[in-house]
Amino acid sequence: MSFKLSRDEILKEIVKSGKDPVYFINNYAKISHPMRGLIPFNTYDFQTDLLKDFNDYRFNVILKARQLGISTITAAYVAWMMMFHRDKNVLVIATKFSTAANLVKKVKSIHRNLPKWMKLADISIDNRTSFELTNGSQIKASSTSGDAGRSEALSLLVIDEAAHVEGLDELWTGLYPTLSTGGRCIALSTPNGVGNWFHQTCIDAEIEKNDFHLVTLPWQVHPDRDQEWFDKETKNMSRRQIAQELECNFNMSGETVFHPEDMELISQGVEDPKYKTGFDRNLWIWEEYKPENNYMLSGDVARGDGADYSTFHIFKLETNELVAEYRGKPTPDIFADMLMGVGKEYGSCMMVVENNSVGWTVLNKLQELGYPNIYYSKKSTHEYVDPLMAESSNSVVPGFTTSQKTRPLVVAKLEEFVRNKLINIRSKRLYNEMKTFVWQNGKPQAMKKHNDDLIMACAIGCWVRDTAFAVNQRDVEYQKAFLSSITTSNRKLNTTIPGMIAYDKLKTEKKLENASKMYTDHLWLLKG
């Protein structure tokens, strides 16, 4: 407003601006444009919505494309907060001190270019690192050192380019207590791969696992940007750069185990189960047992420390569909009873249970209960052993052994199945685990504070299906061929044909007797 206002009008404008940051910014804030100089800040719809979120939620995490003016709108919000509230303490941290200092500079600029009558507080401190008003409100820029802001009670913490701040996990641990008296937080950034604090915070916010409100702002939210703009902008950018700078795509910008395109395909097939059952309603059923199909149960047993879950999947082997799934925290004996019941429900299917740690307790209980179809393997290996052979061997153990050697093998097998579209995943729980399953220090594992129990149960199942069952089937074919080679026809030769030599009856009968004995001695070959 450039026209002269009366005293009453000024008071009304001050009151109106103090109540509504959107009104204040659109009417009185000015920003520096690189081409047009100092111009009024007229917010776009997505910026207006963001300002409302800043007011409505204590903790906001902003996943954004670049060049959307989000840092500037944040600076404008801070300027409003400092102007109309006493004793507000704002701290800005960023991957570089210059980035944090630049946001402070924007706050200063907005204040300096306000109408004189709107400046309810004058400047008391003004330097490169801090800006303070006479009403006690202040903003400081800080490096990301371990003691940043630890000794202060903060009204607002702004983390700019949060995905790029190294060691933000530890830093947040120290900063969070400074917000305990009602302080707010705004964390904003383009994505920078997965596994960092920003990614984890966004993922947790999406599933309401933390106190943050997630706002996602890809390039399309800007009204002046269309496909033509995108094509021109991305002409010389790599796929990773596009994902990071414009599309708000964590996976494409980082190191997830499962390719983002494969994950996108899985997301399209995710559906609610037909029903949820079990004592804790954590047994999800998509398809009930059908006698014409073959099934396999693959399970992962919790360590028993309460941090992870006991899980299992039911595979329909003909199509490799996951038709049932469980994830919960029952005691080992209850979990064994559940496995027994579900296994029998699906035709006493092959049961593959991890035998590490508490897994032994579960497997022993299954053996005591007399489950007829338990997976066996050689000690300290993943090699499948037929149950008939297991009964007479001391080198055989029930269950699947997960080790430093076998874990990457089974994970690689699951990734292969996903990549080649050889598995049908319908579970939202499994899908969410896959989104946070990343490469860390060269190893596939769940992000911090996330789980991979459903993934491991599924990975073990894929490995067994593609190796043990395949080996077993191959052995059966070999055995059939061998037995065919040692059987002898009981037809008598026609010696009336001219030129034929009469056969020795006693000699032939002896051959048949030997062949029959060999067949009996090698009856174990008829496994499967």
DSSP 510-527: HHHHHHHHHHHHTGGG--
Burial class (CB in 10 A: 0-12, 13-18, 19+), 212: buried
Residue 284 to residues 277, 332, 334, 425, Cα–Cα distance (Å): 6, 19, 17, 13
Joined tokens for residue 512: 């048949």
Coil, strand or helix at 267: helix
**Domain boundaries along the sequence of the chain:** 7-254, 263-469, 487-525
Distances (CA, A) of 178 to 81, 110, 246: 18, 27, 33
Q: Which of 226, 152, 220, 161 is nearest to 190 (CA)?
A: 161
Beta strand extents in 149-221 (DSSP E only): 156-160, 184-189, 213-217
- Contact between 397 and 377 (Cβ < 8 Å): yes
Q: Are strands 213-217 and 89-94 parallel, antiparallel or unpaired?
A: unpaired
pLDDT for 522? 42
pLDDT of residue 513: 62
Structure tokens at 182: 């009602």
Q: Could you say which residues of the chain have pLDDT below 70? A: 1-3, 145-151, 251-254, 304-305, 379-383, 386-394, 469-528
CB 443 within 8 A of CB 437: no
470-524 pLDDT per residue, tens? 544 544 444 445 445 544 444 443 444 344 344 455 655 565 566 455 444 444 3
Contact in structure between 439 and 259 (CB atoms under 8 Å): no
CA separation for the pair 311, 198 (Å, rounded): 29
59-64 vs 184-189, strand pairing mode? parallel
**Arch. (CATH architecture) of 263-469:** 2-Layer Sandwich (3.30)
| Backbone Cα Rg of the chain | 34
**Amino acid, single-letter form, for residue 210:** N
Write down the CATH number for the domain with range 7-254: 3.40.50.300
Identical fold for domains 7-254 and 263-469, yes or no, is: no
Helix axis angle for 21-28 and 7-19, nearest 10°, is 130
pLDDT, position 243: 81
> Cα–Cα distance between 371 and 148 in angstroms, integer?
59
State whether residue 126 is helix, strand or coil: strand
Q: What is the pLDDT of residue 447?
A: 80
Q: How would you list the strands of the sheet with 295-300, edge to edge?
A: 275-277, 283-285, 321-328, 310-316, 295-300, 350-353
Report the 10 Å Cβ neighbour count for 338: 22
Q: How far apart are CA 199 and CA 190, in angstroms?
A: 10
Phi-psi region of 7 (alpha: psi -120 to 50; beta: other; left: phi over 0): alpha
Give the pTM: 0.62
Residue with tokens 């029930």: 398
Instruction: Give the span between the Cα atoms of 375 and 39, in whole angstroms.
Output: 72
Burial class (CB in 10 A: 0-12, 13-18, 19+), 203: buried
At 454 the pLDDT is: 97
Are 336 and 365 contacting, i.e. CB atoms less than 8 angstroms apart? yes
Give the CA dihedral 370, 375, 379, 382, nearest 10 degrees: -170
